[in-house]
Structure 1
Amino acid sequence: MSNDKNAEFLKATMMGPNAMRVAEELASRLNINENMRILDLGCGCGLSTLLLAKKYGSSVFAADLWISPTENYERFRSIGIDDKTVPISVDATQGLPFANGYFDLLFTVDAYHYFGDTAEMLPSLIPFVKKGGCIAVAIPGLKYEFGKNVPDVMKPFWSAEVARTIRSLTWWKDLWSAAEGIEIVDIREMDCCKQAWDEWLTSPNPYAIQDKKMMEAENGQYFNLIQLIAKVI
C-alpha cells in the first residue's frame, strides 16, 4: 500500500477488508509452493489469486459467483498471471465442477461466510482436496455472539444477512468440529484485522462507503477477522 500505483489497484479491486492483506497473513500459516494446484474459492476481483500466483508461483483456479471470468481473465492478463490462473464462475452452494482430490489447497478470503454457514457446506468441499491437503479460510467475524443482545450502536447495521454471516470464532469452531474427514490445524483471530478494515474503507467501492458508518459505530469493540485451517485426512 506504500506504492501509489499498487494502492490505487487495491482500492479499485477490494470487495471487503483488504483481501491482499488478509490473504498474505493466511498464506503465511501454510506451506505453499509452485507445484501446488489451488482453488481460490470466492476470489472476487482476484487479489488473493494474485498473491498465490505471483508470490508463490502456484497454479490457481480463481472461482467466483459475482465477478465474471472474463473480467478476471482480463485483469490477470494485465498483471501477467494469466499463465498461472484459470478464472471460472461457480456457485459453491450448487456443487463444484472439479474432480475429487484435484486440489492441494482450498483457499478462501472474505467470502466463505456468505455460503459456508451451514453444516453441509464444509463436508461438500472436503472431497475436492487431496488427503494431506488443506482448507484455509479467512473471514470477518465477531469477538462474541450477539444473539438477541445486539449492541445498540450496531442495531442500525444488523440486518438478517449480517446476523447470518458474521459469527464468532467459537461458532465457527463448533461448526467445523462437527465435520468428518478433516483435522482442525488452526483457528484464531487474525492480526491484520484493523489494518485490513482501514484499507477497505479507503476504497471508492459503494459498500466501503456504507461500511464507514458501521465501523465508526463499532469502534474496535466487536469485529475481528477469523482464520480457520483444516487438514484433509
Structure 2
Amino acid sequence: MFYYEQTKNFDYTPYCNGTYFMGPSVIRLLDEANLPRKKGMRILDLGCGKGLSSLYLAKEYDVTVFAADLWISPTENYEFFRSLGIEEQIFPIYADANALPFAEGFFDAVISVDAYHYFGAEAGFFSEKILPLLKPDGFAALIFPGWKAPLPTPVPQELLLSWTEEDLTTFQPIQWWKKLFEQEEHTRLLSIAELSCVDEAWADWLATDNPYAIGDRPSMEHGAGKYMNFIFLTACHK
C-alpha cells in the first residue's frame, strides 16, 4: 500500500495504483520538486494523463488547473474530478502540445510531469509553444526522465529487455537539456537538477498491475535503473 507522508492536504493513497499511474509516481516527483506557489494561480498541467498531477496541484497549491492531455478523454478526467468534488477547480481539456488552445499570457505557470520529453525535445519548441502562454512573471516547471550520463553504445542489453532503441531516444542526459534551453530565444533557464526520489518513484510504478508497468519490470529488475534519473527544470521569460 502506498502512503505519501510529505503531502498534507489529501490522502492520495487510493489513487496511487495502476488505474491512475501512467509511469513513475507523479506524487513523489511533485513532492520533491516543491514548486513555487501562490493561492489562486492559474496553471496548465500539460500531459496530465489520468489527472493525478492535476489533483495534487489543486489540493496542495489551492490553484485553478487546466488539465490538458492528448491521449486521455477529458470526459473521463472530468468524471474523476467530479467524484472528488473538485470539478470547479480543474478543467479537463483535450489538447495537442503543438497547438494549445489558450491565449498568450494566460497562465501563471505551465507544469508538465513525465510528459515533456515526448513532445518538447526540439529546439524552438519551448520558446514558440510554451513561453507565450506564460504571464510576464510566470514560470514553467518541467519534470521528465533522462539519463544520468550519455548512454553507452551499444545500448546496454538490460535496457532492451523492456524497450526498443527507438523508445529510448526520448531520454537525454541533463547536459543535453541544459544546452537546449540555454539556446531557446527569449527564455531564462532558472534551474535544472536531478531529483533524488527516482528509485522510489519507479518502485511505486513497478508495484502496480498496470500492463505497461509489468512490461517495464524486466529491464528494471536487471539493473536498468542505474542509468536513469528524473530531471527537474524551471524556466521563464528573459
- Provide the TM-score with structure 1 as the length reference: 0.93
Matched, 1:24 2:31: yes
Note the C-alpha offset of 1:34: 1.9
Note the C-alpha offset of 1:161: 3.4
Note the C-alpha offset of 1:8: 3.8
Note the C-alpha offset of 1:154: 2.1
Q: Could you report, residue by residue, the CA deviation over 1:43-75 in whole angstroms, capped at 9, with x for unpaired residues?
A: 001111011111111000000011110000000
Unpaired segments ≥5 residues, structure 2? 5-10
Give the aligned partner of residue 38 of structure 1: 43
Give the aligned partner of residue 203 of structure 2: 198
Give the aligned partner of residue 14 of structure 1: 21
Contact 2:131 2:236 in 1 (8 A): no
Contact 2:161 2:218 in 1 (8 A): no
Give the aligned partner of residue 8 of structure 2: none
Counterpart residue identity of residue 68, structure 2? A
Q: Among 24, 28, 53, which residue is 1:48 paired with?
A: 53
Quick check: which one's helix share is greater? 1
- CA 1:146–1:219 in structure 2 vs 1: closer, same or farther (change >3 Å)? closer
Q: Could you report, residue by residue, the CA deviation over 1:163-195 in whole angstroms, capped at 9, with x for unpaired residues?
A: 321111111111111101221111011011111
Matched, 1:2 2:20: no
Give the aligned partner of residue 80 of structure 1: 85
Matched, 1:97 2:97: no
Unpaired segments ≥5 residues, structure 1? none
Q: How does 1:26-175 map to 2 (within 5 A)?
A: 26=33, 28=34, 30-93=35-98, 95-123=99-127, 124-146=129-151, 148-175=153-180
Contact 1:24 1:51 in 2 (8 A): no
Note the C-alpha offset of 1:147: 5.7
Aligned partner of residue 138 in structure 1, secondary structure: strand
Deviates more, 1:174-183 or 1:192-201: 174-183
Contact 2:155 2:165 in 1 (8 A): no
Contact 2:159 2:224 in 1 (8 A): no
Structure 2 Cα separation of the partners of residues 218 and 121 of structure 1:
33
Contact 1:135 1:232 in 2 (8 A): no
Aligned partner of residue 66 in structure 2, secondary structure: strand
- CA 1:161–1:90 in structure 2 vs 1: closer, same or farther (change >3 Å)? farther
Structure 1 Cα separation of the partners of residues 12 and 60 of structure 2:
15
Contact 1:42 1:64 in 2 (8 A): yes
Contact 2:158 2:224 in 1 (8 A): no
Structure 2 Cα separation of the partners of residues 138 and 119 of structure 1:
18
Note the C-alpha offset of 1:158: 4.5
Give the aligned partner of residue 179 of structure 1: 184
Note the C-alpha offset of 1:232: 1.9
Note the C-alpha offset of 1:20: 1.5
Aligned partner of residue 166 in structure 2, secondary structure: helix
Note the C-alpha offset of 1:6: 4.1
Matched, 1:209 2:217: no
Find runs of 4+ consecutive structure 1 residues off by over 4 angstroms.
none
Note the C-alpha offset of 1:226: 0.7
Contact 1:58 1:84 in 2 (8 A): yes
Contact 1:20 1:51 in 2 (8 A): yes
